[in-house]
Amino acid sequence: MGSITILEAEEIDRILERLTSQLHERHAAGDDLMLVGIERRGVDLARRLVVLLEKMFAQTVPLGSLDINLYRDDWTSLEGKPHIGQSRIPESVDGRTIVLVDDVLFTGRTIRAALEALLDYGRPRVVELLVLIDRGHRELPIHADYVGRSINTARQEHVDVLLRERDGQDTVRLGAKA
């Protein structure tokens, strides 16, 4: 079985505009808001959201990135050595509203690792989660506050998010694991 397309570029753009509106509704002032993308595609999505939010708020919205590889609970079982990137948090997280951004929410383990990494930078007032795709199958009690699209998947399937910044195109595909 090949993969099927779940979202195309226009749909992704509409979803990001809707998610931006939801963020704006919940955080009308926007003055303590910081978006933090989870490497890799979460950062690409967060960057797009910041551009849209800055137009709505007419002010700068700080953007950070988290590399969570050292915080993963499966890094010792991964084949090869994990690639360790660099996290970048531009301002203090203390007392702020942090919106973690990721492409796909699956078991919740990536988000657990991101929370642990983020808390090494300080104590936010609140942390919210925004994901493009929620595919279910949680292993930890984690949920997203903002969801682009929820899809039903089988555990053995995989969701591939391709973004123009990294992959040259915007599309989301569902396929069977090889």
Domain that holds residue 44: 4-75+82-176
Could you read off the pLDDT of 27-53 as tens digits, one per residue?
A: 988 889 999 999 999 999 999 999 999
Owner of token pair 């998610």:
19
User: For residues 158 and 147, is the Cβ–Cβ distance under 8 A?
Assistant: no
pLDDT of 77 strictly over 80? no
Residue with tokens 């994990």: 82
Average pLDDT over residues 92-105: 98
Q: How confident is the model at residue 178 (pLDDT cuts 50, 70, 90)?
A: low
**What is the rounded CA–CA span in Å between residue 65 and residue 30?**
19
CB of 159 closer than 8 Å to CB of 172? yes
CATH of the domain at 23: 3.40.50.2020
Number of domains present in the structure of the chain: 1
Q: What is the DSSP string of 107-142?
A: SSHHHHHHHHHHHTT---SEEEEEEEEE----SSS-
